[in-house]
Each structure stands twice: as structure tokens, then as C-alpha cells.
Structure 1
Amino acid sequence: MVNRRRRLLAAALAAMAMTCLGLAVRPAAATEVLAAARDLPGGALSPADVTVIRLPEGTVPDGALPPAAPVDGRVLTSPARRGEPLTDVRLLGPSLVDAYGPGLLAAPVRITDASSAHLLRSGDVIDVIAAAPKWDDAVAPPTATVARAVTVIAPPTATRATDAMGDTGALVVLAATPDQATRLAQAATGSRLSIAIHGHRQ
């Protein structure tokens, strides 16, 4: 009788051990998301720039891009480290603009001096100044500030002063009110646009 009880106890303990082992080796629930496949400088993405990673439940950031999200040609607005999960607010689009405040628009603006535009980073606050084309080297052209305290959403992504369309300068995307966006568009048609960067950069 004693031996039989010992055998039953041993069998029960073995079953409990197997159950615990199964629970221990069972993989935790995870979600697949897109992440940077390498250190990215920002700019237009290609499929080779991203990879799929698995994140444990509860650690997935809000707005994380699923593996099927289209990324080819979308603009990453700031640098990302290898392995960093990509979210909707890191890419140029409605979600990104909404993060800068209600009622704002994404206004593309071509700054004439590309070298100064390449000093910009996402989040910088700038003034945009328009100068009429010079008609007399001895006289400075009139200038006017057409947008004050606008925030940079996406700095220039190209390194050349002339892009593939043959346009000079450097293109930046600003978070602007509708009125500011209108004045920027009007100024861009016949003026040279320059910038002044506000202080307290992070």
C-alpha cells in the first residue's frame, strides 16, 4: 500500500513538473511591428530600410506600424536608430501634423540658401523671411517676414543644392496655420526665402 501511494505521488509530482516546464518554455505573446533595419538619417524610405521585429505585449508603442504598412517613398522626418520601432508620427502625414497642434497644415517651403536649410532639425522653430529678387547690386532688396514661429516638421533630405527636378535651394516642411501657408506660397512665387532660427534648441 505504501509503495502504491509513493508511486501515485511520484506520478503526480512528475505531471506537475511537466506542466510547469511547459508553462516556462511557452513563448510570451508578441506583436510584429516595423523597425529601422539600420541607422537611418531621415528622408524617403525604401523597403530595405525597414525590418520586422517582435515586441512583447504591453511594450508596443502607440501608432506602431504593422508589417504590412506601406513605407516605400514615405518620409521619415528625423533620424532613427537601428531596431527602433517606427510609428505613425515619425512619418510625414496627417498624424504627424496633428501632433503639432489642431488646425495646422504641412506646408512645403523651398529655402533659397540650401546650406542654411540643412542646419535645421525636426522641431526647430523658425521665421521665414522673403526678399525680392535683387535688381541693383548697390541696393539691398526689401524684405518681409512672411511666417513667424513656425515649427519644422521635416528638414531637407537631399544633400545637393539642386534636386532631381532641377530646383535649387532646399525643401523643408513646416507646421503652419492656413494663413501662414497661404503667405508662404505667395512669397515663394517671386521671392528668395531665408530663415532665422529661434533659440533654445534641444
Structure 2
Amino acid sequence: MPRLPASLRRLRRVALTHRRPLTALCAAVAVAAALQANAAPPPPRTLVLTAARDLPAGTVVRSGDLVRTPFDPGSVPAGVLPAAAAVGRTTTGPVRAGEAVTDARLVTRSLLAGYPGLVAVPVRIGDPAAVRLLRVGDRVDLLAADPQSDSAARLVGRDAPVLAIPRAGPESPGLTSGALVVLGVPDLTAPTVAQASVTAFLSVVLTR
């Protein structure tokens, strides 16, 4: 039998000397490859519409206020909305940056279920303590008073149902502060109520 060249004999001796570590290494590589082949791929992420910044209560949502954020499918909250259903609507309460935009966070058509002929209008009531007495479903008359005048308060909304009472934020009396309430009013009355909400001190009278 011919002798192997010296270089091959040295290579053979090295392989025999280290055969056990080499065998263990090959086995580990094989196990790792098998585990990687059998591992389930990561679940797909679902893009959810979220607030790009903190949105105060009563904000009319614009496209720049929204961003799509990847969520694990199991963590997607109920009632998430597409951009087409969110832009142009009004927040019913504060929405934090990164929070999913759902139907519960916006004045949506669902608030008007059971109130045909009415539209939803968010208004700020000057006395936050009065709002704490209200419950969704109550009926109120809406009064507007000019704080710079001695004239009597005028009636700008009658028998309006309370559709939503957003989560309270910082409260202080005033025309642009106070506490937010979403009322249902006839379509023709909405402009009058909207104008009064920025020019007068609003108060409510509980009717039923």
C-alpha cells in the first residue's frame, strides 16, 4: 500500500486528534440548522391608525394628526378606524400620542343611533361641576350668556340629548375651557350652537 504524502499524514493526525470536538461541533451545527428550519416565522404585524401627537378633547382630526403604527395582531383594539373614517371627525376626549384611534375616541355616527334627524356637536360648558351631574342619555336645554353684557341668557338648544361626556382634562371656567359635552341637536340648529360655543358662556339646564 503506497504511503500518503507527509502533508496528508499530518492532516490526518490533526483530524484524529480533534475528532471528538469536531464531531460535537458538527452535531451542534446540525441541531441549530434543524431548529431554525422548524421555527415558526414571526407573526405578521398589523398597521393601526394612531395619534401622531397628543390630541386635546374637541380636536377636529386632520391627516397630519395620524400615523400608522405596527401592532401585534392580538393587541389590535376593537373599533379601530381607517383614515377615511377618522379625518374630519372630532375627538370626544383627549387622545395620547401613539394611542389607537377608535370609534370610542371620535364623534362618530354610532353616537347618533336612535336619534334620527340630529347631528352631534361638541360644546364646552363653562361650569365643569355642572357637567359632572350629567349622564349620557340625559336631555338638556343649552343656554348662552355674554359675560361682557347684562343681557339675559338666550336659549340656543332645546331638549338636546347628551351623547357623550369625554374623559375630563384640566378644568377651569371660561369660553374655551370648561368641560366638553357632546350634544345631539337638529341640523339647522348646529351652526347657532357652534357659534355660541366660541362667543358665549354656555350652561345647561337638565330637563329629563
Question: Greater CA deviation, 73-82 or 23-32?
Answer: 23-32
Report if aligned partners of 1:37, 1:51 keep a CA contact under 8 Å in 2: yes
Q: Which residue of 2 aligns with 1:152?
A: 164
Task: Return the structure number with greater helix share.
Answer: 2
Question: Residues 77 and 65 of structure 1: is their aligned pair in 2 closer, same or farther, counting only changes over 3 Å?
Answer: same
Does residue 104 of the first structure (1) align with residue 115 of the second (2)? yes
Larger gyration radius, structure 1 or structure 2: 2
**Misfit runs of 4+, over 4 Å:** 6-13, 21-26, 108-111, 123-127, 140-143
1:16-53 deviation digits (Å, cap 9, x = unpaired): 31343467695332100111112210310122211111
Written as runs of structure 1 = structure 2, the 5 A alignment for 1:19-168 is 19-21=34-36, 26-42=41-57, 43-66=59-82, 68-69=83-84, 71-95=86-110, 97=111, 102-105=113-116, 106-108=118-120, 115-116=126-127, 124-125=135-136, 127-129=139-141, 146-147=158-159, 150-152=162-164
Question: Residues 149 and 28 of structure 1: is their aligned pair in 2 closer, same or farther, counting only changes over 3 Å?
Answer: same
CA distance in 2, matches of 1:23, 1:40: 45
TM-score by length of 2: 0.51
Report if aligned partners of 2:160, 2:183 keep a CA contact under 8 Å in 1: no
TM-superposed CA distance for 1:116, in Å, is 4.3
CA distance in 2, matches of 1:82, 1:22: 39
Question: Residues 148 and 60 of structure 1: is their aligned pair in 2 closer, same or farther, counting only changes over 3 Å?
Answer: same
Q: 1:17 aligns with which of 32, 48, 58?
A: 32
1:97-123 deviation digits (Å, cap 9, x = unpaired): 16xxx5135534697x96348x858x8
Letter in 1 for 2:81: L
Report if aligned partners of 1:63, 1:88 keep a CA contact under 8 Å in 2: yes
Question: Residues 84 and 197 of structure 1: is their aligned pair in 2 closer, same or farther, counting only changes over 3 Å?
Answer: farther
CA distance in 1, matches of 2:93, 2:38: 42
Q: Which residue of 2 aligns with 1:167?
A: none
Question: Residues 20 and 161 of structure 1: is their aligned pair in 2 closer, same or farther, counting only changes over 3 Å?
Answer: same
TM-superposed CA distance for 1:154, in Å, is 7.0
Pairwise CA RMSD of aligned residues?
A: 5.2
Say which SS state the counterpart of residue 34 (structure 1) adopts: strand
Report if aligned partners of 1:35, 1:51 keep a CA contact under 8 Å in 2: yes
CA distance in 1, matches of 2:55, 2:44: 29
In structure 1, stretches of 5+ residues that fail to align are 134-139, 163-170, 176-180
Report if aligned partners of 2:125, 2:181 keep a CA contact under 8 Å in 1: no
CA distance in 2, matches of 1:15, 1:194: 76
